[in-house]
Structure 1
Amino acid sequence: MTRAAVLAGVGATVPPRVVTNAELAQRLDTSDEWIRTRTGIAQRYVVDPGMTTGDLAVEAGQRALKSAGTTTVDLVVLATTTPDRLCPATAPSVATRIGLVGVPAFDVAAVCSGFLYALQAGAAAIAAGHADSVLVIGAETFSTILDPEDRSTRAIFGDGAGAVVLRAGQPDEPGAVRQIRLGSDGGMADLITVRGGGSEERTSGRPPRPEDAYFRMEGKSVFFTAVRRMTESSLEVLARTGWQVADVDRIVAHQANVRIVHAVADQLGVPTDRAVLNIDRVGNTSAASIPLALADGALDGRLTPGDRVLLTAFGGGATWGAATLTWPAVTPG
Structure 2
Amino acid sequence: MYVRKNLRARFVWQEYGWRPLLIFATYDALICLLYGPLDVHWLDIPWQPVALLGTAVAFYIGFKNNGSYDRFWEGRRLWGAVVNTSRVWTLQTFDFVRNLSGSYISATADLPATHRRLVYRHLAWCNALRLHLRRQTAERWDTDVAPFLENKAERALRSMANPPTHLLRCQSRELLDLHEQGLLTEFRHVEMMTTIQDLLDAQGACERIKNTPFPRQYAYFSYVFVWIFAALLPLGLVEEFDRRVALGSHHVWLMVPFAAIVSWVYNTIERVGHNSEDPFDNRENDVPITAICRSIEIDLRELLGETSPPRPVQPIEDVLY
Tell me the TM-score normalised to structure 1 length: 0.23
Instruction: Kindly indicate whether structure 1 or structure 2 has the higher relative contact order, using CA contacts under 8 Å at least 6 residues apart.
Output: 2
Which structure: larger Rg? 2
Q: Which protein is richer in strand relative to its size?
A: 1
Greater helix fraction, Structure 1 or Structure 2: 2
Q: TM-score, normalised by structure 2?
A: 0.24
